[in-house]
Structure 1
């Protein structure tokens, strides 16, 4: 059985202000660093075989902080970079709703292309790390795309607002995915 523990990156200033980040490469803020440290304290190295991260600053730094405690083999994968939201990046929800009420943001990565890219990355993980326990640090839209796909749409995009530094677990056994849990934040001191 292959297991993937999905961790959303820690908070950034844009998260705090409610601005859409997407492909804009924003670093962690102090709260995000603390969230990554608390995630590291919660996770046990003996429970995992490898740590994979999106190459974007906020996810990579979260992974580096976690791995400073776990010391796992570390790999970056472009497949797990956040979705580009084009002209909507940097805008708050109110600004996006006013400018793009149909949510059709100019120059964004199309949803089907994004899901295909992310799930191609998941397939690579299964192929490269069969029967391994994988930690994957990525982004809200990336994790929601994975949860949506593996749950058949029961949870994930449009239904689940993932908190910064939340933990979700999925298992792959007998060529079938199972969502074990999602959006877990009990390891964080502020619970959010």
Structure 2
């Protein structure tokens, strides 16, 4: 059975302000660093075989801080970079809602293409690391795309507000992906 522990990156200043980040490469703030440390303290290296990260600063730094404690093989995969939200990146929620009430942001990566990219990445991970346990540090929209696809839209994109440094776990068994848990934050208290 392949198991993937999905971790959303720690907080950034833009998260704290409510700005849409997308592919804008914003670093962790102090709280985000502490959240990443809490993840590293909570996770047990013996439970995992590899750590994979999005290449964007906030996810990569979260993964590096976690890996300071775990010392796992480390891989970057662009498949798990955040969705590009086009002209809406850097805008606050109120600004986005007033300017683009239908959420049709000019120049954004289309949802179908984004979901295909993320799920293709998941397939690559399963092919490369069959029957392994993987830590995957990514972004809110990436994890929600996975959760939405695997739950047939019951949870995930547009329905689940993932907290910074939350943990979600999926596994591949009986020839399909299953969600074990999502948006877990007990390790952050």
- Fold shared, TM-score > 0.5 on shorter chain: yes
Structure 2: distance between partners of 1:104 and 1:176: 32
Structure 2: distance between partners of 1:141 and 1:147: 10
1:97 CA displacement: 0.4
Structure 1: distance between partners of 2:31 and 2:89: 22
**Normalising by structure 2, what TM-score?**
0.99
Runs of at least 4 residues off by over 4 Å: none
- The answer to whether structure 1 residue 18 and structure 2 residue 26 are counterparts is no
Partner of residue 70, structure 1: 70
**Normalising by structure 1, what TM-score?**
0.98
5+ residue gaps, structure 1: none
Structure 2: distance between partners of 1:178 and 1:152: 11
1:74-125 Cα shifts (integer Å, max 9, x gaps): 0000000000000000001110000001110001000000000000000000
Q: Secondary structure at the match of 1:187?
A: helix
Structure 1: distance between partners of 2:4 and 2:14: 27
Matched residues, number: 189
Partner of residue 51, structure 2: 51
Q: Secondary structure at the match of 1:62?
A: helix
RMSD: 0.5
5+ residue gaps, structure 2: none
Q: Secondary structure at the match of 1:28?
A: coil
